[in-house]
Amino acid sequence: MIFPTDLKRIQKIEGLDNVELRNLPQLYRADAQFSRSFNNHAINLILESLPKHPEFKYISIDSRTHMLMRGMYPCIPGWHCDDFYRASKNHQPSIESVLEDAPATHYTVILGENSRTEFLKKDIELPSPPELIEQFGDKKPFYLSYDEIIDQINPETILLEPKNLYSFGPLCFHKGQAATDNGWRFFIRATFSNHREPKNEVRYQTQVYTLGRVGW
């Protein structure tokens, strides 16, 4: 099965140089109107930079602010694809059907230099979910298997540049990086889709991770 690396740099967003990361709101599945209601300069700049997607019904925005110590991860470690549609009863990601059943386009920006998200640089061929089940059984998380396989391949990768807007699709593998230094880090992702209906919630707590390979 081919997993396309469709990461694209859209633009550098000017005006984000002196943002106080600790003061940025943490949003969970927020629509554009709810996100703008905080009247936050950085959030509004990022929203204004997003392209239009009239083919999708929803925009859903997630953001997280972390105070990281060296070695901490801002997300579950390991290679994975974002915001994944899970239609099966065993909660495994619906990898084979996602492009047909739940198409989406993601946009992301990171602020802070100490944990830059890592993406594959080229398309990659990996076993399909049925092949994973045949090899590892149906209890092992797909992403844990993919994480192990990708690391064995040791592919070329690219790190996101802070303050830049990027787009990518549902099958684009990437992973969070352990912090290289102590400091603040902000992540925001906007997802255009027909399935991810906004909930307009605020996050009041965001965890960090110190474990290695655990799988999504």
Domains of the chain: which residue ranges?
2-12+24-202
What is the mean predicted confidence (pLDDT) over 90-115? 94
- Write the DSSP string, 35-64: HHTT--HHHHHHHHHSPP-TT-SEEEEEEE
pLDDT at 214: 64
Residue 88: which pLDDT band, with cuts at 50, 70 and 90? low
pLDDT at 215: 64
Global model pTM greater than 0.85: yes
CB 177 within 8 A of CB 212: no
CB 179 within 8 A of CB 70: yes
Q: What amino acid occupies position 126?
A: L
The fold of the 2-12+24-202 domain, in CATH, is Jelly Rolls (2.60.120)
Residue 138: which pLDDT band, with cuts at 50, 70 and 90? confident
pLDDT at 85: 74
What is the mean predicted confidence (pLDDT) over 66-88? 89
Please return the burial class of 33, using the count of CB atoms within 10 Å of its CB with bins 0-12, 13-18 and 19+: exposed
pLDDT at 111: 98
All residues at 6 or more sequence positions from 112 whose CB lies less than 8 Å from its CB, including other chains: 21, 162, 183, 184, 185, 186
